[in-house]
Amino acid sequence: MSKIKFLLDVVEDMRSLADSLQSLADAMTQGEPPKAEPIQKASPPPPKEPAVTLEQVRSVLAEKSHDGKTEAVRELLQKYGAPKLSAVDPKHYPALLKDAEVL
């Protein structure tokens, strides 16, 4: 192959490459979504009430029992369907704590 023929092949390949790049660029710009307004940050979720733990409920009930309200504490536990605090369903802890604080 002569040098001129070789250079012509290179030029033809470069034109083909340029056409391919142009097609790619066109496809990318057509698929691009229109520029949108800046997204506003969502407001933070409202703070959740801290979970009531068994220890918190036990502390309040022990204090009430120590103050001579043992029978009222037992009745309160029975209200939540349990003979003792460890048998109370954890989902009832917040309500039980509120009821115990009222005693």
* Boundaries of every domain in the chain: 1-30, 54-102
Q: Average pLDDT for residues 76-97, to the nearest whole number?
A: 91
The answer to whether the beta carbons of residues 82 and 88 sit under 8 Å apart is: yes
76-80: long-range contacts, CB 8 A cutoff, minimum separation 24: 76/100, 76/103
Q: Average pLDDT for residues 36-47, to the nearest whole number?
A: 69
> What is the predicted pLDDT for the residue at 26?
86
The answer to whether the beta carbons of residues 93 and 57 sit under 8 Å apart is: yes
pTM of the model: 0.53
Q: Is the pLDDT of residue 23 over 80?
A: yes
Ramachandran quadrant class, 68 (left: phi over 0; alpha: psi -120 to 50; beta: rest): left
Q: Is the pLDDT of residue 96 over 70?
A: yes
